[in-house]
Chains A and B, each alone.
Chain A
Amino acid sequence: MNMIAPPAVTVRTGRWLGLPLAMGIVAATLCLHIALGAKFVPLDVVFEALTHRDPANFNHTIVWDLRLPRALVAIIVGASLSVAGALMQGVTRNPLAEPGILGLMAGASFAVVFGIGMLGLAGNTAIPMMAAGGSLGAACLVYLISRWVPGGATPLTLTLAGAVVTAFLGALTSVAFLLRENAFDSYRVWLSGSLAGRDLSMLMTAGPVLIVALVVAFALARQITALAMGEEVALALGVRTGWLKAQLLVCVVALTAGSVALAGPLGFVGLVIPHAVRLFTGSDYRWIVPYSAVVGAGYLLAVDVAARMMFRPAEISTGIVTALIGAPIFVYLIRKRSR
């Protein structure tokens, strides 16, 4: 039966079946995230905590107040950054595009640091707003620089402009640190990308924005497939490319800003996941976007488990682990592209 089935049907069936399977794996990773951590909590105690919480039991506090909020943040940030990366790769037709490499994360981080340290702004509303402003500003700057150089906004010039803007904003962030050393002592780990110390209050603010942005991304996925084939093809297929790009820019900025507000600049997630997903889905963004969301959520959950367990009783920044995994993949992609 299988032998006579058309390949397209097999692939489509695989994709449909793969999605709930991936979601099942994410659910299993979520359980793992709650069960494992810096401190060993027996599984029966974890179950008891989830079913009959006793506020006086510290193990229950660990499960409910330390691990569960962190897991929820990991899920939404992992999904958001992965989808942001996928959208950017589709729009720019640049396989190296992701919020970190194209300067959006540096923009968001700088804006948050500047807002907190120089303007004294803080709080669950101000931080995502500052991150959004910084992210949008950096995106515009990268685009303008790449348009300005000879050859226009090619994948290479976009990547180089992203590197320039990231370096520039990184330097400005360092200056802000020097000027207000004391004010930023509390944000050392956050700036390396961390899920530690996240409570649900920031998630309540940034979460809805991220969810809306993800839904919009799912809705636009079909048109991104056309756009990824080239501007002319997309226009021929009736896609209003200018309007689509504007929508996607807002989407990517929202996804990046919300993620940075929640977890600081977590690098390479948006690069690694869409590429991994393409191995299975091919180049159809109707599949790349939802798969990126699911796999990205699971990936960040798994990475965070490792970050919490590797150096117990200390924890290392999740961003360090994502960079350790992402950097070699980035180099591999550059090598592959240069051949």
Chain B
Amino acid sequence: MKLLIAAAAILGGLLAGPVLAQETRPFEAGNGTIGVPVKPLRIVSLHDLSITLPLVEFGATDLVVGSHGRLEEDKVPYIRGAKELYETSFENTDIVFLGVFNQIDLELIAGLEPDLIIGRFGNDNDVLPNLEKIAPTVLLDQDKLGFFGSMQAVADLGGVLPEYDRQFARYQAQIAEFKRLVPNPADISIAILQPWPEDGYIAANKEYYALSQVLDDVGFSKPDLIAEISDSSLDMSPEFLPEVDADFIFSTYEGLYPDQRSPDEIRAAFEKVVPGYCTVLQACRNNQMVFIPRTPIYSSSFRSLTTAYQQVLTHVAGRAFVPLAK
């Protein structure tokens, strides 16, 4: 009997070997230097849009065992960004839904026996002590890393850095092509505005993930008020609407938001916040206000960057426009 138990223990040890005895390396994270597995096999992601999605994009879907997600109206969980861009969901993968924003189920994470947990510095600090008891936990300081730095870090952690490098090089070529087609982008101003009618303000966005990254990389200018924002966006008083007028204004609609499902609903929202907004904005008067779907140009992914690139190229480089009087 003792022999049988010993044999079972040895067999169990051999099977668990890859997880228990992984080779590790140091990784500089927002929460310090963390020893992470060189080749992780069971990753838990604490944010769908900025962590799970890049892993899916770089071909590491099979490594993700659990992810934060959101709930559709019928309460079905989904992975924002991954669903829209890659049709990757909790249903068609082995990824387990861990909970919605700031409501992650720690017991569920522990049960998944991850060898690496990736979260966001600032957002997940409160649960860090418990997460560290489960597996090495890396909290990425996304503000510090920036758009590409964050994606690169996720790719690095997932062991799929070469795929990131390949896609990054392709993106750089796209930007170079854009600059060839639009020789003086700094002369063109673009604002990203979003109305919030029930709360009575307009979000003036300095950063808007993939869309603003493309605009910045090409070298377009922003209205001064937006350029001077210290944060990623400003919940601006509607009284300042003329100050954020630009050659082009981009606003987004989002099918998942009940009151923002279409360009018409966004136009109505603008009208509610500022009656007669279209006469105030020269971009609107001249039909240079562009309404595009949000998640495809908003996510942390190269596919979003490409979509944003194509949208901006079509709307800005592809036609004559009436410039804003300086």
Within 8 A of B (CB), among A119-171: 120
Q: Which of B166-174, B209-217, B232-240, B304-312 contacts A (4 or more CB under 8 A)?
A: B232-240
**A198 interface contact, C-beta 8 A:** yes
Chain B residues with CB below 8 A from A186, complex form: 196-199, 257, 259-260
| SS of A interface (majority) | loop
A198 touches B240 (CB 8 A): no
A181 touches B71 (CB 8 A): yes
**B70 interface contact, C-beta 8 A:** yes
B73 touches A190 (CB 8 A): no
A183 touches B242 (CB 8 A): no
Q: Which of B115-123, B156-164, B273-281 contacts A (4 or more CB under 8 A)?
A: B273-281
A65 touches B199 (CB 8 A): no
Name A182's contact: one of B234, B256, B272, B274 (CB within 8 Å). B256
Closest to A317 in B: B199
In the complex, A65→B199 CA distance in Å?
15
Interface bits A34-78 vs B (CB < 8 Å: 1, else 0)? 000111000000000000000110100110011000000000000
Shortest distance between the CB of A63 and any CB in chain B (Å): 10
Closest to A316 in B: B235
In the complex, A173→B259 CA distance in Å?
19
B198 touches A38 (CB 8 A): no
Interface bits B247-258 vs A (CB < 8 Å: 1, else 0)? 000000010111
In the complex, A188→B254 CA distance in Å?
17
Interface bits A185-204 vs B (CB < 8 Å: 1, else 0)? 11111100011111100000
Closest to A315 in B: B237
Whether A313 contacts B234 in the complex (CB less than 8 A), given A181-B101, A196-B200, A197-B199, comes out as: yes
Closest to A65 in B: B275
In the complex, A38→B257 CA distance in Å?
29
Shortest distance between the CB of A202 and any CB in chain B (Å): 11
A179 touches B71 (CB 8 A): yes
Chain A residues with CB below 8 A from B273, complex form: 197
Whether A197 contacts B237 in the complex (CB less than 8 A), given A65-B275, A181-B70, comes out as: no
Closest to A188 in B: B199
In the complex, A285→B201 CA distance in Å?
39
A196 touches B240 (CB 8 A): no
In the complex, A313→B279 CA distance in Å?
21
Whether A312 contacts B237 in the complex (CB less than 8 A), given A66-B274, A196-B201, comes out as: yes
In the complex, A198→B238 CA distance in Å?
12
B71 touches A194 (CB 8 A): no
A39 touches B237 (CB 8 A): yes
B200 touches A194 (CB 8 A): yes
A58 touches B238 (CB 8 A): no
A313 touches B274 (CB 8 A): no
A314 touches B198 (CB 8 A): no
Interface size class, chain B: 35 or more
In the complex, A189→B197 CA distance in Å?
10
**Among A38, A198, A315, which residue has the most Cβ atoms of chain B within 10 A?**
A315
Shortest distance between the CB of B322 and any CB in chain A (Å): 18
A182 touches B70 (CB 8 A): yes
Chain A residues with CB below 8 A from B133, complex form: none
**A180 interface contact, C-beta 8 A:** yes
**Among B71, B103, B238, which residue has the most Cβ atoms of chain A within 10 A?**
B238
Shortest distance between the CB of B71 and any CB in chain A (Å): 6
Interface size on A, residues (CB 8 A): 34
Name B103's contact: one of A58, A178, A185 (CB within 8 Å). A178
Shortest distance between the CB of B298 and any CB in chain A (Å): 14
Whether A314 contacts B70 in the complex (CB less than 8 A), given A183-B258, A196-B201, comes out as: no
A62 touches B239 (CB 8 A): yes
A61 touches B275 (CB 8 A): yes
**A275 interface contact, C-beta 8 A:** no
In the complex, A196→B234 CA distance in Å?
15
Chain A residues with CB below 8 A from B100, complex form: 178, 181
B280 touches A61 (CB 8 A): yes
Chain A residues with CB below 8 A from B326, complex form: none
Chain B residues with CB below 8 A from A197, complex form: 196-201, 272-273
**A308 interface contact, C-beta 8 A:** yes
A37 touches B239 (CB 8 A): yes
Closest to A199 in B: B272
Chain B residues with CB below 8 A from A39, complex form: 237, 239-240
Shortest distance between the CB of B232 and any CB in chain A (Å): 13
**B62 interface contact, C-beta 8 A:** no
A65 touches B274 (CB 8 A): yes
**B108 interface contact, C-beta 8 A:** no
Chain B residues with CB below 8 A from A199, complex form: 272, 275
Whether A55 contacts B196 in the complex (CB less than 8 A), given A312-B237, A313-B243, comes out as: no
Shortest distance between the CB of B68 and any CB in chain A (Å): 12
Shortest distance between the CB of B296 and any CB in chain A (Å): 16
B199 touches A38 (CB 8 A): no
Chain A residues with CB below 8 A from B235, complex form: 189, 314-315
Shortest distance between the CB of B276 and any CB in chain A (Å): 6
Whether A37 contacts B237 in the complex (CB less than 8 A), given A181-B70, A196-B200, comes out as: yes
In the complex, A198→B279 CA distance in Å?
21
In the complex, A194→B273 CA distance in Å?
14
In the complex, A62→B276 CA distance in Å?
11
In the complex, A196→B197 CA distance in Å?
9
In the complex, A178→B105 CA distance in Å?
14
A38 touches B71 (CB 8 A): no
Name A38's contact: one of B103, B197, B240 (CB within 8 Å). B240
Whether A180 contacts B73 in the complex (CB less than 8 A), given A187-B198, A313-B225, comes out as: yes
Given A61-B274, A313-B225: 15 more A-B contacts, CB < 8 Å = A120-B258, A178-B100, A181-B100, A182-B73, A185-B257, A186-B197, A187-B199, A190-B199, A194-B200, A196-B199, A196-B200, A196-B201, A197-B199, A197-B272, A315-B201
Q: Which residues of B contact A (CB under 8 A)?
A: 70-71, 73, 75, 100-101, 103, 196-201, 225, 234-243, 254, 256-260, 272-276, 279-280
Q: Which residues of A contact B (CB under 8 A)?
A: 37-39, 55-56, 58, 61-62, 65-66, 120, 178-183, 185-190, 194-199, 308, 312-315
Q: Which 3 A-B pairs have the closest CB atoms?
A: A197-B200, A196-B200, A189-B199
